[in-house]
């Protein structure tokens, strides 16, 4: 029994390592995918930015409503419209929570404001029942979820494209927080992207 547990956990860790590779989706949302290059510090991120781009030149972000373009041949194809709206609302609430309290969330694009346009291109739905069972047997939730996005950033005054990227966030086997809700890991991914956006405005990574 103990050997089986260790074997299943090792398999989960192996799958987790593979999940850090950049997503292959090209939805057509971005203008030129060939310009995207792997980020040396984040294996899941493909990124491009214009010469001289500096996050700290912008005092705030204007975020357009989250959009979705999900593949019909994945688990995300079965997601109800109401669930997508709930995820979009959660993203907006998280933006207000993370950036709004520090006056880094703008109500309109203008000089000194970065306009963010983000499309969710995949959502991996977790199975709460399976994760409850694997947590009992292996002490970890093994059915991992997450989300992929394509993102474009424009200068708020000129409308010029200044940065764009593709990213995917997938839960790790030791992540318990989102494993017992169908969209828990997807919500966790949206929160992490919001936190990274807030950090970038302050530090210019």
**pTM for this one?**
0.78
What CATH number has the domain spanning 2-203?
3.30.160
CB 69 within 8 A of CB 190: no
In the DSSP assignment, the letter for residue 54 is -
pLDDT band with cut points at 50, 70 and 90 for residue 178: very low
The H or E element that residue 92 is part of is: helix 81-98
Does residue 165 contact residue 151 with C-beta atoms inside 8 Å? yes
**Can you give the residue ranges of every domain in the chain?**
2-203
Structure confidence by residue, pLDDT tens digits, 131-162: 444 544 444 545 556 789 999 999 999 999 99
- Which helix (H) or strand (E) segment holds residue 37: the answer is strand 37-39
Eight-state DSSP code of residue 108: S
Tens of pLDDT, residue by residue over 35-88, are 999 998 888 899 999 999 999 999 999 999 999 998 766 555 567 788 889 999
Which of 61-65, 113-117, 182-186 has the weakest average pLDDT?
A: 182-186
Rounded CA-CA distance 32/149 in Å is: 15
The two structure tokens encoding residue 193: 């992207």
């Amino acid at each position: 029994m103990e050997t089986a547990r260790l074997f299943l956990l090792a398999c989960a860790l192996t799958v987790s390592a593979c999940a850090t590779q950049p997503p292959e989706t090209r939805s057509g949302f971005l203008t030129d995918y060939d310009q995207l290059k792997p980020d040396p510090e984040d294996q899941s991120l493909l990124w491009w930015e214009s010469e001289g781009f500096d996050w700290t030149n912008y005092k705030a972000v204007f975020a357009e409503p989250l959009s979705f373009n999900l593949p019909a041949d994945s688990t995300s194809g079965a997601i109800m419209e109401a669930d997508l709206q709930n995820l979009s609302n959660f993203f907006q609430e998280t933006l207000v929570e993370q950036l709004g309290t520090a006056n880094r969330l703008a109500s309109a694009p203008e000089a000194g404001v970065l306009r963010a346009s983000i499309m969710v291109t995949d959502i991996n739905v977790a199975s709460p029942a399976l994760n409850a069972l694997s947590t009992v047997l292996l002490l970890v939730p093994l059915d991992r979820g997450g989300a992929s996005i394509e993102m474009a950033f424009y200068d708020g005054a000129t409308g010029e494209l200044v940065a764009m990227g593709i990213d995917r966030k997938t839960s790790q086997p030791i992540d318990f927080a989102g494993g017992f809700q169908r969209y828990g890991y997807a919500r966790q991914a949206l929160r992490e992207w919001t936190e990274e956006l807030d950090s970038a405005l302050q530090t210019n990574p």
